[in-house]
Chains A and B, each alone.
Chain A
Amino acid sequence: DGGITQSPKYLFRKEGQNVTLSCEQNLNHDAMYWYRQDPGQGLRLIYYSQIVNDFQKGDIAEGYSVSREKKESFPLTVTSAQKNPTAFYLCASTNEDASSYEQYFGPGTRLTVT
């Protein structure tokens, strides 16, 4: 089955450490996205990538970095510069050739930093 996988589902880190969240898709989608969700809140866009080797900052990119070396993969690094990294992180992709541009989401990674 096609879809988006995120690993791990739960991640614990100590303050001051960088951590990388994995996102892989086998949907052959060009565009990929990272969102952050805080308890009881909506989604905030961190970074997005329309094609391989290209990505743009979203609304809350500070303290995060990404790479897009392969079409299938869009890892997110939460750096020690991110002041409040504890959150639920969602990866998504879109088929930009389709007419409706619906987003496909992964199951999310819950990051806890203490």
Chain B
Amino acid sequence: GDSVTQMEGPVTLSEEAFLTINCTYTATGYPSLFWYVQYPGEGLQLLLKATKADDKGSNKGFEATYRKETTSFHLEKGSVQVSDSAVYFCALRRVGTGGFKTIFGAGTRLFVKA
């Protein structure tokens, strides 16, 4: 079945460091890919998305590129801030037949130190 694997956390970085959180997926067809962010005590919110191969999603300085050849959707940010401390979830959603579920990775907790 469909699955999402993302790097285990926690990831601890100093402010202004470069961030990469790896995400790979297994799915039939051409799923849409997402990164969601969860701040402490809150629900998830969409950070960015990509709906087809080679698309780049971007938001708030974060970027991720849909790589079909490597089945990956790694999240990157050039310079993290303390306010980026949160849990990040990679997810996929198949479209079309049977595609009513979103499959989430386990989440990666990011701590950014001042």
Interface residues of A (CB under 8 A from B): 4, 6, 31, 33, 40-43, 45, 48, 50, 56, 58, 90, 92, 94, 96, 99-108, 110
Contact = CB atoms under 8 A, between A and B. Distances in A.
B111 interface: no
Contacts, number: 61
B82 interface: no
Interface of B: 32, 34, 36, 41-46, 49, 51, 89, 91, 93, 95, 99-102, 104-107, 109
Q: Is the interface of B mostly helix, strand, loop or mixed?
A: strand
A41 B106 contact: yes
A6 B44 CA distance: 13
- Main secondary structure, interface of A, reads strand
B108 to A, nearest CB: 10
B93 A90 contact: no
Contacts of B42: 107-108
A99 B91 CA distance: 16
